[in-house]
Amino acid sequence: MQLALAWAAKGMYITAPNPRIGCVIVRGGEVIGAGHTQPAGQAHAEIQALRDAQARGNDVRGATAYVTLEPCSHYGRTPPCSNALIQAGIERVVAAMTDPNPLVAGRGLAQLEAAGIAVSAGIMADEAYELSIGFFHRMRFGKPWVRLKTAASLDGATALDSGESQWITSPEARADGHAWRARASAILTGIGTVKADDPQLTVRGIDTPLQPRRVIVDSRLEIDPGARILQGEPCWIVAARAHPEKQAALQAAGHEVFLLPNAHGKVDLPALMLELGRREINELHVEAGSKLNASLVREGCVDELLVYLAPSLIGPGQGMFALPPLARLQDKFALRFHGVQQVGPDLRILARFHHREKE
């Protein structure tokens, strides 16, 4: 199963909106075929592993298939993998976990069992879940897994008061941040960041065939048509009020503008998360300023923080979250550390909100 997970990780940047799945076929203690899920509409991991075994001249009849997710039993963009395993003569299937997709949800294993194949599940399930956390979260809650990235000094400053921020963290931390961008289906920022930094928000330095979709929260549709973020692949721009002339110009340039206003004339962020779920966004990577960061946290839209801390002190400057003062300490936003690792000279902290763990 550990080997199957390693194969699944090879599909990190290509499988969305599908999960990252690996499959290893074993007979007599020997790996005779292996594979991982291909881009949407192409072969799933099980099919790749069966093809690999065939290409090596190996007979899979009587073999065991280790797969990081219950084989699908429905027709989607591709035929069911459960049928292929049955027809190939696989004798046993070991799945890391059952599929939370309502279209599968135990049916794949049941179909295999009905065909006389021995099945079991629950081997390294946590590792398999983490590898495709966005897909599983979207299947359960209808919205992406939201990871908010920020980088700061040890005293919590993301920039000087002047706005200067390049570079607080190291080249190693920045390269690591691009790897997290690359695994996301979309990157979200706000108009404040677009105006202040004119970012591209593309993945650089990582060999990925897909660039994440860029999403801009721009309540009043203030974006400059010449902004660098509007170059290259089309963007989704989310506004709260109509501006027909500007909308037409942006859409003529290939971008999509949609309106999601809340009662206060701002973008309805929880509604945006559900809309991104409908658009099959699995992992949403946020790189925004302190105001939008705070709004996303306050409105319960963030699942995980990805924080890079540099070993430096800056003093007064801009912070990570423009949150209002609390009247009581017990009203604080509670998180738990999920992972802490040194990256170059900096620390990378993954912290998850407690409310997300209760969902």
Angle of the 81-88 helix axis to the 107-114 helix axis, nearest 10? 20
Task: List the beta bridge partners of residue 214.
Answer: 187, 235
Write the secondary structure of 238-253 as one string of H (helix), E (strand) and C (coil).
EECCCCHHHHHHHHHC
What is the Cα–Cα distance from 302 to 355, expressed in whole angstroms?
Answer: 10
Both structure tokens of 246: 């500007």
CA pair distance 357, 338, nearest whole angstrom: 12
The residues that are catalytic are: 46
For 265-285, give the DSSP string: SSB-HHHHHHHHHHTT--EEE
State the maximum Cα–Cα separation within the chain, in Å, rounded to a whole number.
Answer: 70
d(CA 200, CA 206): 15
